[in-house]
Amino acid sequence: MLRFSAQRVSSSSSTVTVADVSAWSPEPFGREQERNTTMKRAFITGITGQDGLYLAELLLSKGYKVFGLMRGQNNPKRELLERVIPDVEILTGDLTDLSSLMRAMSVAKPDEFYNLGAISFVAYSWENAHLTSEVTGMGVLNALEAVRLHTAATGQQVRFYQASSSEMFGKVQTVPQNEDTLLWPRSPYGVAKVYGHYMTINYRESYGMHASSGVLFNHESPRRGPEFVTRKVTRAVARISLGLQDTLTLGNIDAQRDWGFAGDYVEAMWLMLQQDEPDDYVISTGETQSIRVLLDHAFAAVGIDDWTPYVDFDEQFMRPAEVDLLVGDASKAKEKLGWEPRVKFPELVSMMVEADLREQKEIAGL
């Protein structure tokens, strides 16, 4: 194992606590739009994921009847859904099975369809490229077809949101990236997202569907899966500070990402479907940080200034092709949706470390 050497970048003190996170309730962007959504029906694929949970909470708070698609015959996240969002009606199905989506549509009869389901872990997509293409790529076609066929059969108009990704920019052709930046994906996941992105545009242009694509940059939260680098770091930092773990092993810590808070980003999804016209929008903070800076902030949150003794390098976490730098330009979303991110990077990291400290103390009985 190799040790990293720290490149010191300023870290900041924590300002947001876990209590702040659970108390986080969206100040509505555009109250007029909110009043008009009473008793709308929404259908969310990927309901068990980070964004699915935040979006369901947001829509419930706006008075929606929410349906969520859950896959598998005994999904271990059912208990989480029933505890956190008990008012959501769970429907079983899979993005690779069009008939299951059609059946779910006939029950949900949604006004709005949010397609968040995907195999979303980029590193995994090289080892499971075909499956990733089926779920993250072809799954979008199935979702669009389910909407098209449902509308043809019932006459009901359904607005569609596709969870596109900054990973589509890959080997970035401009800095910062906006809606006009050439796509150059660098992973099977990125390629599958490009397919879904253009298929969404194609259904909008071919069938006049109200189909919008949110090109979201990385967004994180205490609900982020532990395989992603932010959560991997904040959980390890919590465990190290509690004496439950000695070191943390990472890959390329020089990569730079534009990290925002998932709670802010699901608002942008909803806003896109409230517009008269469908469109594509970049959603980002406009600020980029390296993983080194993430380490600075996360370790500083538990009072450790020099993280180098705690961080190791392992080749297994390097990727066959890396996305070195992402930074988005969300000015179109600001201008047309009135959307802006509210949680800054230092607050986001503090929020996640605090949540992991609580969770790890509880698990360890401390």
Q: Is 198 known to be catalytic?
A: no
Catalytic residue among 11, 164, 165, 212: 165
Q: Minimal distance in Å, beta carbon 356 to ligand F7E? A: 15
How far, CA to CA in Å, does 192 sit from each of 118, 129, 178?
A: 10, 9, 19
Least distance to ligand NAP from the beta carbon of 122, Å?
A: 9
> Is-catalytic flag, 189?
yes
Q: Which of residues 211-240 bind ligand F7E (CB under 6 A)?
A: 217-218, 227-229, 232
Question: Which residue in 189, 195, 265, 281 is the catalytic one?
Answer: 189
Is 54 one of the annotated active-site residues of the chain? Answer: no
126 binding ligand F7E? (CB under 6 A) = no
- Residues 121-140, interacting with ligand NAP (CB under 6 A): 135
Question: Rounded to the nearest whole angstrom, what is the least distance from the CB of residue 166 to ligand F7E in the complex?
Answer: 5
Could you tell me the smallest distance in angstroms from the CB atom of residue 295 to ligand F7E?
10
Is residue 325 involved in binding ligand F7E (CB under 6 A)? no
With CB atoms as reference, the residue minimizing the distance to ligand NAP is 49
If one asks whether residue 122 binds ligand F7E (CB under 6 A), the answer comes out as yes
Of 57, 112, 167, 347, the active-site residue reads 167
- Is the CB of 203 or the CB of 310 nearer to ligand NAP? 203
When asked if residue 115 is in the footprint of ligand F7E (CB under 6 A), the reply is no
User: Is 284 near ligand F7E (CB under 6 A)?
Assistant: no
Sole binder of ligand F7E in the list 77, 319, 332, 334 (CB under 6 A): 319
Using CB under 6 A as the binding rule, the residues of this chain from 19 to 48 that contact ligand NAP are: 45-48
| 71 scored as a contact of ligand NAP (CB under 6 A) | yes
What are the CA-CA distances from residue 85 to residues 41, 68, 161, 205, 363 (Å)? 15, 10, 21, 35, 23
In the bound complex, what is the minimum distance in angstroms from residue 164's beta carbon to ligand NAP? 7
Cα separation, 138 vs 148, whole angstroms? 15
CB of 143 to ligand NAP, least distance (A): 9
The set of catalytic residues is 165, 167, 189
Binding site for ligand F7E (CB under 6 A): 120, 122-123, 165-167, 217-218, 227-229, 232, 250-253, 255, 257, 291, 317, 319, 322-323
Binding site for ligand NAP (CB under 6 A): 45-52, 69, 71-72, 75, 77, 94-96, 116-120, 135, 163, 165, 216, 218-219, 225
